[in-house]
Amino acid sequence: MTYVEFFDKNSIENVCACLTMLPKEVILVGSDKTVMERHCEICEKLFQDRGQEVKFSCRSVSKWSTSKVVETIEDILKTYEDCEFGITGGDEMVIFALGIVCERNREKNIQVHKINIQNNTICDCDMDGTKIAEGSPVLSVEENVRIYGGSTSSYEWILDSDFEADVKTIWEICKKNPTSWNAQIGVFNTMQKRGTITTDELTMSARIDDLEQYYRKHDGTYHINPAIKNLLMEKKLVTKLEEVDGVITVSFKNAQVKKCLTTAGQALEMKIYLTAKKLKDKKDNSNIYNDVRTGVTIDWDGKDASATNEVDVINEIDVLMMHNMIPVFVSCKNGAVTADELYKLNTVSERFGGKYAKKVLVSSVLQNLYNGEDLKQRAKDMNIKIITDDDLMDDKQLENKLKNMWS
């Protein structure tokens, strides 16, 4: 079967039907030939990587010439007798032209479909009662970014019961006092950058006077929080933390715990990440989010710019979740939040999710910020949903909030 899609800048609208119907060939019809050709390359490779051979091609038309569009559609009908049409996306004038063709060729019973991406259903627009392909197409985080022309990379966490218990403990310590926690993780992070890592890679050391000098230059204060130190040692997340002869030495339980304790904001990200991965639909016990990633680096054009000396446009999304074909972009802030963070979240999500992207700000201290109310209003104006410190303190409340972030 050949499937004809009317090209749309919301890339998911060009492939959503193909993910369910799996045609042998897809023809994109639209006005921007260069963009369509690039999209054809991306989609062909996407389906190849899914183990499916689907050929993509395009037909360029002027959306302002109804007669030319009608002529193109009728030519496709003659060439591909088994073709079906998708009107999920596309310009109104092009879809109008399809209506003219359908009226002229009633005897051919032209199949026309539209996908409701929000609820993952297919509408039989020609109303002939023909059974349409069943199934709920899904995209991974990486695939979603790819169809918009980008590429991703992210840290691969090894999730087992022991590590999940460690993350829970880390979060319990963090949420008691996010400000003090951030200061302590900042010291560990500075040690990692400026100190010495020993041969076992889980131990790092630094001269205390070097750290003090660094903090003075950056208007800070070197300090080991005794309460946090005792808890980390008690829970065996840190196996050594000592200051001897002007040198501080810290050893961590394992590499993943070390990453959590030396990366700013990692505790909050991991809390959201693990909570989202475990959410289940009450109807069939399926995962609400079919893919969840944390620390996702997005390269805007998906190309290696090093060979051409061009500047790579790169952004990092704290947590990125997929509900079938709907991406949810999450920014996690365990400290100060600025309007710039909202604008960045809004820009990246619209670029790699279009009108279907959902945006979420998670803040552990928003209620206490002097600009908290202003940020809430800005977020509302940008359709950014907010999860605040009140939600984070109660696991069930957090789960209920995250469950509905895609809708």
Out of 1.10.10, 1.10.1740, 1.20.120, 3.30.310, select the CATH number for domain 161-262: 1.10.10
Task: Give every CB contact of residue 322 below 8 A, 6+ residues apart in sequence.
Answer: 138, 139, 140, 141, 144, 289, 290, 291, 292, 328
Residues 293-321, mean pLDDT to the nearest whole number: 85
DSSP 296-356: EEEESS-S-GGGTTPPP-EEEEEEEEEETTEEEEEEEESS---HHHHHHHHHHHHHTTGGG
Residue percentage of the chain with pLDDT more than 90: 79
pLDDT of the residue at 129:
75
pLDDT of the residue at 305:
62
pLDDT at 349 over 80: yes
17, 54, 134 from 328: Cα distances, Å: 21, 28, 25
User: Quick one: which of 383, 316, 376, 386 has its CA closest to 355?
Assistant: 383
Asked if 180 and 225 count as a contact pair (C-beta separation under 8 A), the reply is yes
pLDDT of the residue at 275:
97
pLDDT at 307 over 70: no
Q: pLDDT tens, 222-260?
A: 999 999 999 999 999 999 999 999 999 999 999 999 999
pLDDT of the residue at 200:
85
CATH architecture of 266-403: 3-Layer(aba) Sandwich (3.40)
CB-facing half-sphere around the CA of 56: CA atoms within 13 A: 24
Question: Distance (Å, rounded) from C-alpha 301 to C-alpha 313?
Answer: 8
pLDDT at 368 over 80: no
- 247 C-beta neighbours (distance < 10 Å), count: 15
15, 168, 247, 330, 346 from 302: Cα distances, Å: 19, 35, 44, 21, 20
Least confident of 128-132, 181-185, 204-208: 128-132
Residues 199-208, mean pLDDT to the nearest whole number: 90
Bigger pLDDT: 390 or 102? 102
| 199: three-class secondary structure by DSSP | coil
Least confident of 6-15, 64-73, 191-200: 191-200
Q: State pTM to two decimals.
A: 0.93
pLDDT at 199 over 80: no
Bigger pLDDT: 113 or 371? 113
Fold of the domain spanning 2-137: Rossmann fold (3.40.50)
pLDDT at 361 over 70: yes
What is the DSSP-derived secondary structure letter of residue 406?
Answer: T
| Average of per-residue pLDDT values in the chain | 92
Domain boundaries, the chain: 2-137, 161-262, 266-403
| 373: three-class secondary structure by DSSP | helix
pLDDT of the residue at 312:
79
Q: pLDDT tens, 105-158?
A: 999 999 999 999 988 888 888 888 776 666 678 999 999 999 999 999 999 999
Q: pLDDT tens, 308-322?
A: 666 778 999 999 999
Residues 34-53, mean pLDDT to the nearest whole number: 95
| 126: three-class secondary structure by DSSP | coil
Residues 40-52, mean pLDDT to the nearest whole number: 95
Residue percentage of the chain with pLDDT more than 70: 95
DSSP 226-248: HHHHHHHHHTTSEEEEEEETTEE
pLDDT at 366 over 80: no
- 135 C-beta neighbours (distance < 10 Å), count: 11
